[in-house]
Amino acid sequence: MKYPMKGVGNVSLKLNQGNTIHLQNVLYVPDFKKNLVSISAMEDKGYKVAFNDGKVRVWKKNFKEAFTLWFRVDSLYQVGESLLGVMSCDTSLQSKLWYQRFAHLHYKALLDVRQMVIGIPEFKIEHEGVCSGCAEGKLKRGPFPSSHSKTSDILQLVHSDISGMMPVNYVGGYLYYLTFTNDYSRKTWICFLKKKDEVFSWFCHFKALIKNQTEKRIKILRTDNGTEYESNEFHEFFK
């Protein structure tokens, strides 16, 4: 199984013995759930490693300066409780970094830009297919299909929806607002609510209001089938 690498950076591990070890060129693989340290990579950096009595001792020049980095747990060696903190600085892949700096310029064009701009380092073009941000930015919503059913009078069709909860209370402690829109005239009524369970009572109030004003009744109420419109009160009312 292969996991994509998202970046390369440096990590400093501060141990409870007071020692600090700096790891360079650490690979950032977010899909990998374990943190692994390569013994061969540490040897390449000049560290010496010894396994003894369930501990892994690490030193660079003098063995007297050795410190315990890993402890054996079952059949594995883990950093475990010796780790006090991790300070990391992850950097993106160079190609992706410069792709973002040049406002999502096409990857192939980055090679030409590097020849025209001073200071851009050498890097290979590495990317994971289509940029999700560019793809979303270029998407467009298709037109809604034409409706062949048109209302010919007020209150034949009323649309209703609720919005909230709002991050800041309205005056009076209201957190939601409820709308009723007449499909024929597009006139909209707005009601302010403190709780969602007030929807039915406001609907009854709105129904009585427009009946008194127009002497007509609502023929169809259209909603998004939210739970506030699926209460037992609504079910009993529309039977």
pTM score: 0.42
Domain boundaries, the chain: 7-92, 94-127, 158-237
Which pLDDT belongs to residue 83?
Answer: 45
The tens place of each residue's pLDDT in the chain, 239 residues long, gives 777 777 777 777 766 666 677 777 777 787 777 777 778 887 887 888 888 887 888 888 777 777 777 777 777 777 644 444 444 444 456 778 888 888 888 888 888 887 888 877 777 777 767 788 888 888 877 777 777 778 889 999 999 999 878 877 777 888 899 999 999 999 999 999 988 889 999 999 999 999 999 999 999 999 988 888 888 898 888 88
The confidence score (pLDDT) of residue 201 equals: 93
Measured CA distances, 74 to 78, 185, 212 (Å): 10, 75, 80
Per-residue confidence (pLDDT) for residue 98, from 0 to 100: 81
pLDDT at 54: 79
Return the pLDDT at 92: 52
**CA separation for the pair 20, 14 (Å, rounded):** 4
Q: Tell me the C-alpha distance between 135 and 120, whole Å.
A: 26
Q: Torsion over CA of 233, 234, 237 and 239, rounded to 10 degrees?
A: -120
**Structural domain 158-237, CATH architecture:** 2-Layer Sandwich (3.30)
State how far the Cα of 186 lies from the Cα of 179, in Å rounded to an integer: 12
What pLDDT is recorded for position 79?
65
Checking phi first, is residue 211 left (phi over 0); if not, alpha (psi -120 to 50) or beta? Answer: alpha
Model pLDDT for residues 25-60, shown as the tens digit of each residue:
777 787 777 777 778 887 887 888 888 887 888 888
In this prediction, residue 88 carries a pLDDT of 45
